[in-house]
Amino acid sequence: MVNYILTAALLLTSVVLMAKKSLGSINSNKRKELRPVLGKTVVIIGASSGIGKEIALRFAREGANLLLVARRVKELEDVRLMCQNAAASGERNNRLNAKIRLVFGDVTERVVQLQIVSDCIEHFGSIDFLVLNAGIISVKPVVELLENPTQLEPGSVEALNNIESLETALNRTMSVNFHAPVHLGCLFLPHLLASKGSIVVVSSMAGMLAAPTRSLYAASKHALNGFFNSLRMEVEKDGVSITIANPGTVDTDLRSSAVDVQSSASGNTPKMPGASHVKLAKKSVLSPQYAAEKVFDAAIRSVECVNFPFIYQLSIYLNAICPSLVEYLAKKKYGFL
């Protein structure tokens, strides 16, 4: 342990210097002309709670037209009312009457994806910001998704059936976190090319750094970041910007709906697997409002990537220099030492 601490201390200066250099590059990016918001059309996927709700409120205060998408009807209706109030109180909104529309449904379904695009173009005529925020998490170690993994003969029918729980969780995680954002991004791409608009991907630090109990989640977020980072290179020459936001832990209800956790018969939220491993300091958990402000600021400034809080940005640099140390810290955090 002492060796790790000494290594971290020796590397800290290099990390800070690299961070300073990177921030200089980011700041030069921020000096680009701000994207206007007043009267522009913003589609927000996953807008019923958490970061998505706060992003909707932030755009509403700036006088944007909103198309809000989520599965939960009551929660999304509540967000619409909050956005209407926010728009009415916004300082810039006396010149335009912002419009707000809702689409209910599971964004992994192709019919819902097509409805989102058609509603947007039919009622607003164009799109300026596509915010891809819907997500689902997994919280179990892979071995816990397998039944008696050490007691089955390799290659047997029983062994093959043993991965059904894992496959179900993997398919759902990839469907929500990767396939749906990719499909929506591609469906909206012709319209974004026409408007020289922006795609805003609310990803996760799990898309940058791996962690125990996050195998499926990290895989989906790494794939998500890889796709949109590559797409950015293809479309930036056409005036389309792509912003990827990678927040750390945010105070939302994401964990309570983990794909690999079943609700109890009483309807109570179950105890999260791995919860005993993780003791997060309150100050290390971000508020949805703070996260939304960081995402909004990056979006209107066409920043390519924003990682926050800053300690996680440092972790990315440290991972490039000494990945074994970052892995040690991740295993320690989640109780896998």
Q: Give alpha helix (H) positions in 62-109.
A: 73-89
Sorting pLDDT into bands at 50, 70 and 90, what band is 146?
confident
Q: Summarize pLDDT for 274-293 with one digit per residue, the tens.
A: 443 444 445 578 999 999 99
More confident residue, 100 or 256: 100
Active-site annotation holds for 4: no
Does residue 141 fall inside a structural domain?
A: no
Residue owning tokens 């379904």: 109
Number of structural domains found in the chain: 1
- Can you tell me the distance from the alpha carbon of 318 to that of 326, in angstroms, rounded to the nearest whole number? 7
Q: For residue 224, which of 207, 241, 212 has the smallest C-alpha distance?
A: 207
- The H or E element spanning position 247 is strand 241-247
pLDDT at 10 over 70: no
Does residue 209 fall inside a structural domain?
A: yes
Q: 132 pairs with which residues across the strands?
A: 45, 201
pTM of the model: 0.85
* Residue 89, pLDDT score: 84
Q: 234 pairs with which residues across the strands?
A: none
Sorting pLDDT into bands at 50, 70 and 90, what band is 25?
very low
Query: Is the backbone peptide bond immediately before 309 cis, with ω within 30 degrees of 0?
Result: yes
pLDDT at 4 over 60: no
Does residue 57 fall inside a structural domain?
A: yes
More confident residue, 142 or 9: 142
Does residue 322 fall inside a structural domain?
A: yes
Does residue 170 fall inside a structural domain?
A: no
- Least reliable range by pLDDT among 152-166, 195-209, 243-257: 152-166
Sorting pLDDT into bands at 50, 70 and 90, what band is 262?
low
Cβ burial of 263 (10 Å; 0-12, 13-18, 19+) is exposed
- Can you tell me the distance from the alpha carbon of 8 to that of 2, in angstroms, rounded to the nearest whole number? 10
Sorting pLDDT into bands at 50, 70 and 90, what band is 201?
very high
Does residue 71 fall inside a structural domain?
A: yes
Q: For residue 216, which of 158, 286, 165 has the smallest C-alpha distance?
A: 165
Q: Summarize pLDDT for 36-67 with one digit per residue, the tens.
A: 999 999 999 999 999 999 999 999 999 999 99
Number of H helices, E strands in the chain: 11, 7
* Residue 295, pLDDT score: 98
Q: 101 pairs with which residues across the strands?
A: 67
- Report the CATH number that the domain containing residue 326 is assigned in CATH: 3.40.50.720
Domain that holds residue 112: 34-136+177-259+281-334
More confident residue, 206 or 17: 206
Does residue 271 fall inside a structural domain?
A: no
Does residue 240 fall inside a structural domain?
A: yes
- Two structure tokens written together for 242: 């792509």
- Choose the catalytic residue: 4, 217, 312, 328: 217
pLDDT at 31 over 70: no
Is residue 29 a contact partner of residue 56, using CB atoms and an 8 Å limit? no
Q: Summarize pLDDT for 57-96 with one digit per residue, the tens.
A: 999 999 999 999 999 999 999 999 999 999 988 666 555 6
Q: What percent of the chain has pLDDT over 90?
A: 65
Averaged pLDDT for residues 308-331:
92
